[in-house]
Structure 1
């Protein structure tokens, strides 16, 4: 089972950007990473009337769309994080954006203009300010330091 770590924060605070910066740093440390992104927005994977949308409209429980560039598994309905994790190929670490109610360790992305997140699962803070906290606080722009903390957390099984 991989180490699962959430990246939490208010909308627009830089969660996706932080994950994007962490991925090459974690790879350089030899950590194999997958990402799960949860959104409340409507996502259309293929326009109406195209093959996969027609299969789904006709009643297919899942449609797997494959191409030389990769594949996507289309499944109706919101899925629990545990089920999504079970579908991933084995990796060392899964970074999760969204699923804010999940009982998983999280790094909070905290900006000057945003209030702190009240979540007992926050284990560290990545920030553009210097919040007063008993938790480890990292400069949001120092992805290498945050990645080193994550690597240590993975190995400790936080």
Structure 2
């Protein structure tokens, strides 16, 4: 089973940016990374006018499209995180964006000192990634990183979970 690391924080805290930078770095050392993103607001990843969009619009409860390079599956249902993780079990690492209340190791992104209470509200916080170097830091607690310390963050993940 691939290790799972959650990247959590409030809106616009830099979760997607951190994940894309980590994925690029890990890809560069031949690690296969799967990313699962939680979107509370709903989304539509299929474009209007495509065949798969037309299939779903016609009432199909699920639609898949595949090529020699890519597969996409669209289902008209919510998929729970454990099921998604199981689907990606053969990858080297699974990075999860969001799902704050799930019980996996978490890296919490902070925009400012006002976000600090989030660290105590969540379970399994293993690290904190903060935007500003000058806001107060609790000396006891999870490992701390600055936002741009991508290589040290990646090394921490490698040494701890890979």
* C-alpha distance in structure 2 between counterparts of 1:87 and 1:62, whole Å: 17
Which consecutive residues of structure 1, in runs of 5 or more, have no partner in the other structure? none
1:124–1:77 Cα change, 3 Å: same
Q: Specify every segment of 5 or more residues in structure 2 that has no aligned partner in the other structure, as ranges.
A: none
Aligned residue among 119, 122, 144 for 2:122: 119
- 5 Å-filtered alignment, 1:4-153, equals 4-44=4-44, 45-47=46-48, 50-67=50-67, 70-88=70-88, 90-112=90-112, 114-116=114-116, 117=118, 118-130=121-133, 131-132=137-138, 133-153=140-160
Tell me which moved more, 137-146 or 30-39.
Answer: 30-39
Number of residue-to-residue matches in the alignment? 154
What whole-Å deviation, never above 9, does each CA across 1:78-100 have from its counterpart, x for those lacking one?
11001112223611110000211
Q: Cα offset for 1:41?
A: 2.4
Contact kept? 2:101, 2:123, Cα under 8 Å: no
TM-score (norm 1): 0.86
Contact conserved, 2:88 with 2:94, CA < 8 A, in 1? no
Asked whether the 8 Å contact 1:31–1:151 carries over to 2, the reply is: no
Instruction: Indicate how the Cα distance of structure 1 residues 9 and 99 shifts in structure 2: closer, same or farther if over 3 A, else same.
Output: same
Give every structure 1 segment of 4 or more consecutive aligned residues whose post-TM-superposition deviation is greater than 6 Å: none
For normalisation by structure 2, the TM-score amounts to 0.84
RMSD: 2.0
Task: Assess, with a 3 A threshold, how the Cα gap between structure 1 residues 103 and 89 changes in structure 2: closer, same or farther.
Answer: closer
